Amino acid sequence: VNAGVLDTAAYMKLWGDTPPTFVEGPMCTIRVRVGELIDGKDLWWQLNDSQVGVKVAQSVADCVLPFIKRMRSRQDMVQWLTDTQVVKKRYPLPIINLAILQNFLGKSLEACALLTEVEKKAVGAWRIRAADVAERLGCAK
């Protein structure tokens, strides 16, 4: 089970376009798998378990819906990305989203510094994406 929250303005800064009408998990500004919310590990259910439907529904009710409810503001999203140590994990997409959200919250120096680091360490399309976002956010070179 995947969950996510999309900040439309953040999406536009990230991709330079408006989001589609139907948003899938990978497009979200903040995304998580239910297992991360339960115990920090990935979670898969056995399809031959007669209680799988109940277990999935209960996990969504107990973990996913409260998570989505907590992500009501950009500050909440920044806090989540910080608490989950996205910078340390080094996957560029959540780091770029963190930079965009920081910029929206008036922390442009921190945002631009994050994007500079992504540009230095990432390869290929992520390096280009970080540079494009830095330009859209007005980061000086």
Quick: pLDDT tens for 90-134: 899 999 999 999 999 999 999 999 999 999 999 899 999 999 999
Burial of 14-38, coded b for 16+ CB within 10 Å and e otherwise, reads beeeebeeeeeeeebbbbbbbebbe
- Report d(CA 112, CA 122) in Å as an integer: 15
- pLDDT score of 62: 93
